[in-house]
Structure 1
Amino acid sequence: MSSSGPADTAAVSERRLPGSPSEVTADWLSAVLSDTDDQVIVDGFDITPVGTGQTAATYRLAIRYRRRGPDLPDTFVLKLPSQDLAVRDRVALGYRSEHAFYTQVADSVQIPVPRCFHCEIADEGREFVLLLEDLSPASQGDQIRGCGTAQARLAVEALAGLHGPRWCDPRWASFTGTVMPKPADSAAATGLGDITALATATTIDTLAGRLGDEDVALLREAANLVGAWLLLRPDRFGVLHGDYRLDNLLFHPDGDRVTVVDWQTLAVGLPARDLAYFVGTSFEPSVRAECERELVDAYHRALIEHGVTDYSFDECWDDYRIAVLQIPMITTLGFAFAAATERGDDMIVTMLERGCAASRDLGSLDLIRGQL
């Protein structure tokens, strides 16, 4: 899709946020890319869809300028709400979460993220727009295929850059950008546990025949533990990505950089939840069993480099084992509330099978029950 025409920025502020690619205009782009010192005029642009669009709609913009501001690129990535209005209503809280990350959190942590040129939200999150740096030719991780240990090491060390700089920061208690209950919120934890049980039942029923009986039994048992599990270890907390997995990571061609995207599931809680979710869903079980201690160690050492103290490797490993419940919780919630796609269904099955295997191998449910 192409668009062109002169930019009239004076009226842009009176317009609603673009909700679809057809509502993106040269006027609007000119306004959001301008600042008080540099007036940008966009002459035209091409917009093409990228990604699978399960909870949001993502596009690449190739812009033609009449007047360009300093350091502005020719291409951007634009994220809009889901084009399915029912999905948009269900995941509006996620758009609010992503807005909170880019406007309140990103500058205070050290995890690598795309440069944000504009982030705006309205109507309780139903209207949302995010204009980001285009990181092409970086390539998205493949959740189904998995990754090698070199990529995984980059990912867990980057993750420490999210958790370490504000480890146990008391200001997280007043942070309002989360979609998950905080460690001290027992009523919200119980409520999320109930929702997870419903999402788990929906997932099992919809994917009937694709999950083995042993996994189905574990998923039901795990769902019944979620409410109490969320309240464990409240003295160790930080901000969580919440959905830290391969599809939300971009690996750069130089082989030594990764960038993290999709911040729609922010939480405050046990930091190892992000770690266990990533490691447990990124490998076939036999491969994970061979490399997971090495990856937990790499994450732990990176935390220390970010200034975390009084946190031993043994404590980190124990947290990792407990945190594996993040996999069935987030995966079933995501399946129940996102738009269905063929690849999405395959991905959910793969993640649940890997997560169930990790839970069994690590004795996670027994460990959790022993803590309750």
Structure 2
Amino acid sequence: MNTSTAAAQPLPSTPEHITPEWLGSVLGERISSVRIEPIGTGQTGATYRVTPTYEVPGSCPATLVAKLPSQEPGVRERVALGYRAEHAFYTRVADTVAVAVPEVYHCAISDDGSEFVLLVADLTPAVQGDQIRGCGAEDALLAVEALAGLHGPRWCDPAWLSFEGIAMPKADADFARGMGTLAGIALEKTLSGLGDRIGDADRAVLAAAADLIEPWLGLDADRFCLLHGDYRLDNLLFHPAGDAVTVVDWQTLTVGLPARDLAYFLATSMTPEARERSEHDLVAAYHRRLREHGVRDFDFDRCWTDYRVGMLQVPMLITFGYAFTAATGRGDDMMLTMIERGCHAIRHLETISLTTQLV
């Protein structure tokens, strides 16, 4: 993998800048032409399928996927920390954990973080999960076992406490206070923007959750790991054989209670009925795989409680995502689906009352 904090030539800030000359320089090949096609929804970044024509046929990939910063300058400035996080993950973390990620051909970032490029293998025919449609128990099992491969190998690793380049570090009092303030702002923007598409019951859950974000971030400080932060179907690629999943989009790296990732995935990526039927078995599978990765002194009852408490990751991340990233038609529909599912899970698991007792 070719990685750097600043490429030898200017980083491609738009798809037009992914020229044959630039691509050839990072792949070490002679390329005569490049075809670029947009893929994905592009709320925080812009993703493209790249098809090069090589002057000399060889073993190079027929297609690749390139990820660039958002094409909206305002969004690019707001989420520059996310580009730093993704660069940090692929260059400093990926080979220290046990989660499948795409092969990386090039990863570079500018000094100020506003320019970023990631060039990875195109995993077609693997299929991206569909956040709106949701998934069943079989795909969810693949996802939670993969998640344990991120969390388990470096569970409570003290290096995470000083790890640079992540979007949200482990919360101290000042950080938690600031996040609590931002949660209120994000809530107002979300309720205003989505209007009466959010029902009264869900509005009440979102408001109660926002009030708890500051103390919630400080809960169980002795259990922590690196979190994906936005672990959901749209960021997973399922392989045709049905026995593997690859995880992408590492812009929301966070350090905190591990079960936040687990709760966020199950609450937002399954219908309430599907989740309620299988969540106990899925949490047990995650816990079992953690033990296989060497995690000890963490019994299932504690894992289940953490899962219930971790549900506040759902309203926090969704409202932040809606308020501070680019809006798209599918994005709004997706946010609403996730809000409905997440708020249902919070009510079902009595997360608000449990968290209130614990804080």
TM-score by length of 1: 0.93
Q: CA separation of 1:33/1:210 partners in 2, compared to 1, >3 Å: closer, same or farther?
A: same
Question: Are 1:336 and 2:330 an aligned pair?
Answer: no
How far 1:15 moved relative to its partner?
2.9
| Secondary structure class of the residue paired with 2:197 | coil
- Counterpart for residue 312 of structure 1: 299
Task: Could you list the structure 1 runs, at least 4 aligned residues long, displaced by more than 4 angstroms after superposition.
Answer: none
- Counterpart for residue 85 of structure 1: 73
Question: Are 1:28 and 2:22 an aligned pair?
Answer: yes
- Counterpart for residue 239 of structure 1: 226
How far 1:123 moved relative to its partner?
4.3
Q: Does the CA contact (< 8 Å) of 1:153 and 1:298 recur in 2?
A: yes
- Counterpart for residue 193 of structure 2: 206
Q: Does the CA contact (< 8 Å) of 2:64 and 2:122 recur in 1?
A: yes
| Secondary structure class of the residue paired with 1:137 | coil
- Counterpart for residue 37 of structure 2: 48
What do the CA deviations read for 1:120-161 (whole angstroms, capped 9, x no partner)? 011421100000010011111111110010000000000000
What do the CA deviations read for 1:192-211 (whole angstroms, capped 9, x no partner)? 11111100110011111111
Q: Does the CA contact (< 8 Å) of 2:69 and 2:117 recur in 1?
A: yes
| Secondary structure class of the residue paired with 1:124 | coil
- Counterpart for residue 208 of structure 2: 221
Q: Does the CA contact (< 8 Å) of 2:197 and 2:336 recur in 1?
A: yes
How far 1:65 moved relative to its partner?
1.7
Q: Does the CA contact (< 8 Å) of 1:181 and 1:189 recur in 2?
A: no
Higher relative contact order (CA 8 A, sep 6+): 2
How far 1:186 moved relative to its partner?
1.4
- One-letter amino acid matched to 2:42: G
Q: Bigger CA drift: 15-24 or 324-333?
A: 15-24
What do the CA deviations read for 1:339-372 (whole angstroms, capped 9, x no partner)? 1111111111110111111111111111111111
2:294 and 2:8 map into 1 onto residues whose CA distance is 46
- One-letter amino acid matched to 1:153: L
Q: Does the CA contact (< 8 Å) of 1:41 and 1:68 recur in 2?
A: no
1:68 and 1:92 map into 2 onto residues whose CA distance is 37
Count of residue correspondences: 354
Q: Does the CA contact (< 8 Å) of 2:153 and 2:293 recur in 1?
A: yes
- One-letter amino acid matched to 1:49: P
1:227 and 1:199 map into 2 onto residues whose CA distance is 14
- Counterpart for residue 132 of structure 1: 120
Segments of 5+ residues of structure 1 without an aligned counterpart are 1-11, 35-39
Identity %: 58
C-alpha RMSD of the superposition:
1.3
Question: Are 1:164 and 2:158 an aligned pair?
Answer: no
- Counterpart for residue 154 of structure 1: 142
What do the CA deviations read for 1:79-109 (whole angstroms, capped 9, x no partner)? 0111111111111111111111101110100
- Counterpart for residue 107 of structure 1: 95
- One-letter amino acid matched to 1:64: T
Select 1:63's aligned residue among 27, 36, 52.
Answer: 52
1:288 and 1:15 map into 2 onto residues whose CA distance is 48
What do the CA deviations read for 1:9-68 (whole angstroms, capped 9, x no partner)? xxx95531110011112221122113xxxxx22222211111111111111111122246
- Counterpart for residue 369 of structure 1: 356
What do the CA deviations read for 1:206-255 (whole angstroms, capped 9, x no partner)? 11111111110110110111111011001011000000000111111111
1:192 and 1:119 map into 2 onto residues whose CA distance is 30
Select 2:261's aligned residue among 249, 262, 274.
Answer: 274
Question: Are 1:145 and 2:139 an aligned pair?
Answer: no
2:290 and 2:241 map into 1 onto residues whose CA distance is 24
Query: Which aligned pairs between 1:153-192 and structure 2 lie closer than 5 A?
Result: 153-183=141-171, 185-192=172-179
Q: CA separation of 1:14/1:309 partners in 2, compared to 1, >3 Å: closer, same or farther?
A: closer
| Secondary structure class of the residue paired with 1:262 | coil
- One-letter amino acid matched to 1:234: A
- One-letter amino acid matched to 1:75: T
- One-letter amino acid matched to 2:115: E
Q: CA separation of 1:187/1:135 partners in 2, compared to 1, >3 Å: closer, same or farther?
A: same
Q: Does the CA contact (< 8 Å) of 1:248 and 1:260 recur in 2?
A: yes
- One-letter amino acid matched to 2:269: S
Select 2:243's aligned residue among 241, 245, 256.
Answer: 256
Q: Bigger CA drift: 12-21 or 141-150?
A: 12-21
- Counterpart for residue 293 of structure 1: 280
Q: Does the CA contact (< 8 Å) of 2:7 and 2:109 recur in 1?
A: no
